[in-house]
Amino acid sequence: MQTEETRPKTGDEAADFVMSFVEHSTTESRRDMEPIWDEVEQNFLVQPYNAAAISTDTSAPLGDRHDLAHKNRGFAVMKDPESHQVMMTIASGIVGATMPEPGYAKAKRVGFEDIPRAKVVNELVEHSDRLEGAFTTNLEWVMQACIYGTGIKEIYWDYIEQPQEFRRLGFEPDPFTGEMVPVDEVERLTAPVYDDVREEVFDVRDFFPDPGNNRISKMLGAVRRFKVSAATMKERAEAGIYKKSAVEEAAQKRQQTDAKEHEDKFTGEESDINTIRESHPDFMIETAYRYIGTVPWDSPDGYQRREIVVAGGVVVRDEPWFRRLPWFDIKITPRLNSFWGISPGELIRFDQDFADVVKMMLADAVVRLVHPPHVYNKNSDVDLAKLRAWRPGVPIGVQGDPNHAIGEVKYNPQLQPAFMMQGGVKQQMREGSAASDANQGFGIGTKRLSASEAVGTFENAAKRPDMFAQVVEREYLPPCAKYKVKLYGEYLEDDEDLADRVGESNMVTGLADILHDYDIQYVGSRMVASKQQQLGVMREMMGALANPMLAPLLPIIPLFQKFFDQNGLHELAAMVGNPQMVEGYLALHGVVGQQGQNPQNGNGNGTTPSSPSPMTLPAQALGGVQ
C-alpha cells in the first residue's frame, strides 16, 4: 500500500525534494567552514583578506608612479606568500610521489592471480591518466585538498562530435587514357573528437553531500550545482538525455525574467574566485542541480536509485542510476566523523595573519627610515607646496641658510629583531604544515652536518609528506581507478577499441576478459629507488641469465623491455620479443631454415646441427616467445 510519502512524485515535487536536500546539506558546520575556505583561498592567491592593507603614508609623498598610485589608492598592499608556498610544496610532493613514472598502478583480479589480464587493466588505468587534462585535473584535485581540506572531482564518459575535414589520397582511372592517376580530395564529415573517460574538478561550494555519512561511497545521495546554457540543454534534449518538453519549459521561464536566476536561501552565495563567469546573456546560462542517489518514493519503473537534474526549477532529467556516485573526494588530513577535511592552509591561517602584519609593519618602518619626516624653520619662508611635491631636479626656495631652514627627523628603528621574528613565524608555519625547509629544498642551518646526520634529517622531514602521499594512493586513488575501468567495460565496444588505448603489444587478453572486479593499488610513493639503483638491479638479473639453471625461470622478454625502458629506449623496448625479429635472428644463426639440407652432411660451415632437447619447452627454445 502506497502512502503519501512513497507514492510516485510529480516533476515539481521531485524538484522540491532536490532543493530541500540542498537545504538540509547546508548544515551549520558547513556554514562555519565557508569563511575559513574564503580566508585560506585568499592566502593561497596572495590577496588581502577582507581588504586588509596598510597605509604607507609619509610626510612628503613621493613622485612619479608611486605618487600616482598613492593618490589613487591611498595604500600599498603587503601580503606574505608563505601559505601559497606551503600548499604548493605539499601538492607537488603528493602528485610527484603518487604518479612518478609508468608502473605506479597495479591491478589484481579479486580472488585470482591473473597477471595477463591485470596487465591490461594497469595499462588502461595509466592510459586514462595520460589523457588530455588528466594530470592537471589530478593536480587541481590535490590542490583543493590543500586549500579547502577537501577536493571534489567527477569522473564520467565524454563523447564529443565536431565537423572535421578529412584528406583522401588514392588513385582513380583517367576517363580518357584509362591510366591510374593520383586523387587528392577533402571531405567534410562529422566525426568524434573525444570518446573516452573525462575527469573534472569543481568547486567544493558546489557540492552538497549527505550529512548523514562522511564517505561518498556510503551516502544515500548527493547534489552537484553546475552551470548549463540553453544551447547545451537543447543538444542534450535532442540526444535524448534531457526531456524536450521540460527543456522548453525551462527556456520559457528563463526568457520571462530579465535578471539572471536568483540565488535562493538554500544555496548561499556562489564563489567569485573559482567558478565560471557569466557568459553572454543570449546563451541563457542556467544554474542547475544534479541529484544522484536514492529517492524516498516508489518510482513508476521500480528503481529508487535515480539521477534527477533540475534546471530553472524544472526537472529536465529523471532516470535510473546503476553505478556508484560519480563524485570522488580527497582529504590529506581527515577530520574525525566529518566529510570535510583539514587543510594545511587552515592550520597556519592565524600565523599567516601575523606574518602579514609583521611584513607590513617592517615595510612601513623601512619607508620611514629611508624617507623620514621633514622639519622646516617657519621663519625661513619655505615653499611647502614644492617641499611636498619634491622630486630630483625640483628646486625649493628658502630664505637664509638652507641647512637651518629644512631638516629631517632622525629615525633609526631596530629592524633586525623584527626581521628575525618574521623569519621565526614563517619557519613555524612550515614546520606546522609538513612543508619544512628540508622538504622545500632550503638549507638546514649553518651547522655543518655529517652525511648520516643529513640523511636522517631529510628522512625525518619526509615522514609526514610520505604519509600524505600514502593516504592519497591507498584511500582515494583506487576507487577512481576502479570506476574508470567500469566505464571502459561499459562503453568500449570491442577489442579494437581496447587496443587503441593500451597498445597492440599489451593486448594479451580481450575486452571480455577484463569485465571482472579488480583490486587496484597505487605504488608510486613506494617506488623510492633511483634510476641508478633500478638499473643496478636489472644488470644483476641479466647477469643471472648466464646461469643455465636460472635462465629458464626468468621472464626474459619483460626483463629486457624493462631494461630498455629504464634507459629511455622505448622504441627498442617495443621491438623486444617481436616474433618476426626473433625468427630472423634464429635463422641468421642457423637454428631455423635448415630445410632441404642433409643433417648427416652438416650445414655447410663445418658443424653438425642438433635439434632441441626433447625436454626443452617452446618458450625456452624461442627465448621466451610463446
pLDDT tens per residue across span 530-581: 566 666 777 777 777 777 777 777 777 777 777 777 666 767 777 776 777 7
Identify the CA nearest to 331 among candidates 212, 218, 187, 475: 475
Report the pLDDT value the prediction gives residue 319, as an integer from 0 to 100.
94
Q: Is the pLDDT of residue 66 over 70?
A: no
| DSSP labels, 518-561 | EEEEE-GGG--S-HHHHHHHHHHHHHGGGSTTTGGGS-HHHHHH
pLDDT of residue 605: 47
Task: Let me know if 430 is exposed, middle or buried by CB neighbors in 10 A (0-12, 13-18, 19+).
Answer: buried
The mean-pLDDT minimum among 297-301, 318-322, 504-508 falls in 504-508
pLDDT at 548: 78
Give pLDDT, residue 370: 82
pLDDT tops 60 at residue 61? no
Interhelix angle 28-44/349-370, nearest 10 degrees: 40
DSSP 166-199: EEEEEEEE-TTT--EEEEEEEEEEEEEEEEEEEE
pLDDT band at 436 (very low <50, low <70, confident <90, very high): low
**Per-residue pLDDT for 156 more than 90?**
yes
Looking at residue 266, its pLDDT comes to 38
CA atoms of 581 and 576, how far apart (whole Å): 8
Bigger pLDDT: 257 or 197? 197
Residue 435, pLDDT score: 56
Q: Is 325's pLDDT higher than 90? A: yes
Instruction: Indicate if the pLDDT at residue 258 is higher than 50.
Output: no
pLDDT band, very low/low/confident/very high, at 358 (cuts 50, 70, 90): confident
Question: What pLDDT was estimated at residue 204?
Answer: 94
Q: Is the pLDDT of residue 357 over 90?
A: no
Task: Please give the pLDDT value at position 395.
Answer: 78
Lowest-pLDDT range of 313-322, 377-386, 495-504, 580-589? 580-589
How many Cα atoms sit within 13 Å of 224 on the Cβ side?
21
Q: What is the pLDDT of residue 253?
A: 75
Task: Please list, in sequence order, all residues whose beta carbon lies within 8 angstroms of the beta carbon of residue 511, skipping any fewer than 6 positions away.
Answer: 489, 492, 494, 495, 497, 498
Q: φ and ψ at 587, to 5 degrees?
A: -65, -35
Does the pLDDT value for residue 95 go beyond 60?
yes
> What pLDDT was estimated at residue 263?
41
In the chain the first and final C-alpha atoms are separated, in Å, by 64
Least confident of 9-13, 136-140, 248-252: 9-13
The pLDDT value recorded for residue 225 is 95
Question: Comparing C-alpha atoms, which of 528, 531, 530, 529 is closest to residue 465?
Answer: 528
Check pLDDT > 70 for residue 11. no
Question: Per-residue pLDDT tens for 448-457?
Answer: 545 555 445 4
Contact between residue 94 and residue 469 where contact means Cβ atoms under 8 Å apart: yes
Among 12-21, 66-75, 135-144, 293-302, the range scoring the smallest mean pLDDT is 66-75
**Which pLDDT belongs to residue 182?**
82
Q: pLDDT at residue 322 above 80?
A: yes
Task: Output 17 or 59, whichever has higher pLDDT.
Answer: 17
Q: Which pLDDT tens digit goes with each residue over 161-186?
A: 888 888 877 788 888 888 888 888 88
Place of cell 602584519: 357
Provide the pLDDT for residue 625: 40
Instruction: Give the pLDDT score at 623.
Output: 42
**Range with top average pLDDT, 82-86, 306-310, 425-429, 450-454:** 306-310
How far apart are alpha carbons 608 and 595 in whole angstroms? 14
Q: What's the chain's average pLDDT?
A: 76
Bridge-based pairing state of the strands 207-208 and 180-201:
unpaired
- What is the per-residue pLDDT across 261-293, written as a single tens digit (0 to 9) for each? 434 433 444 444 455 555 555 567 888 999 999
The percent of residues in the chain predicted with pLDDT above 90, rounded, is 21
More confident residue, 341 or 622: 341
In angstroms, what CA-CA distances link 300 with 20, 42, 318, 324, 552? 22, 48, 11, 21, 63
The pTM of the full predicted model, rounded to 2 decimals, is: 0.73
